[in-house]
Structure 1
């Protein structure tokens, strides 16, 4: 039961960080569109900025990692690499049916689930058993 609560807490924190990060990045996305940048390029630029923000906010607060950046960063970048492919494919497909502004909102949600799943599968923020300090 404790692990269910721990996972719910972790996912809630991930959601809070994600909402704050993505709300600010969505405003940047809209600004880039108004400046004439294509939706796909705008999504890619926002994604790169979001990776840095997310790593800094999620590493300790969401996942409680005290591990080295050398162990955490590769896992994080792998998960976000998968998410990057997901975000570009997803927005490219959604643009067939939806305006860019709405497509990006759905894209954010889909990509967030993909990334969280990857982080958990990679055991991001967890030490290997027997890891000495």
Structure 2
């Protein structure tokens, strides 16, 4: 991948992530401020919504994947599942153990998980399917 292509893909990844993050935070705020839900649980619910938004945007706009949904979706949710676990653990550590405000804790957590999500999805979830890669090598 050329430097220009990589920069473009990273920019699209960041934009898709911003939309997914907006969905995540909107649900988090609605549940915590409006619904009286505890911040860790609101964060987890927001994370799931953000993951669904990100799958759709990343598959189509960022990685332009040809991998079938039956292959890509479980991989995406495996990467997201590990991210979800880290999200919950980090949110617990930052809010309960360190006493940070939940929104600051979520911003820090989101930043830390950005690297995990990009790498996992670029190298595993949305990379060219094995059959397509094999055909290109011939």
Query: TM-score under structure 2 normalisation?
Result: 0.85
* Conserved 8 A contact 2:28-2:46: yes
Q: Kindly report the root-mean-square deviation, in angstroms, between the aligned alpha carbons of the 2 structures.
A: 1.8
* Conserved 8 A contact 1:17-1:54: yes
Q: What does residue 134 of structure 2 align with? A: 130
**Is 1:78 matched up with 2:78?**
yes
Alpha-carbon separation, structure 1, partners of 2:92 and 2:115: 18
Q: What does residue 108 of structure 2 align with? A: 106
| CA positional deviation for 1:123 | 5.5
1:38-94 deviations in whole A, cap 9, x for unaligned?
011001101111111111111011001122112211221111111111111111111
Higher mean displacement: 24-33 or 39-48: 24-33
Q: What does residue 117 of structure 1 align with? A: 119
Higher mean displacement: 2-11 or 110-119: 2-11
Greater relative contact order (Cα 8 A, min sep 6): structure 1 or 2?
1
Higher mean displacement: 4-13 or 35-44: 4-13
Q: Which runs of 5+ in 1 are unaligned?
A: none
The structure carrying a bigger helix percent of its residues is 2
Alpha-carbon separation, structure 2, partners of 1:97 and 1:8: 37
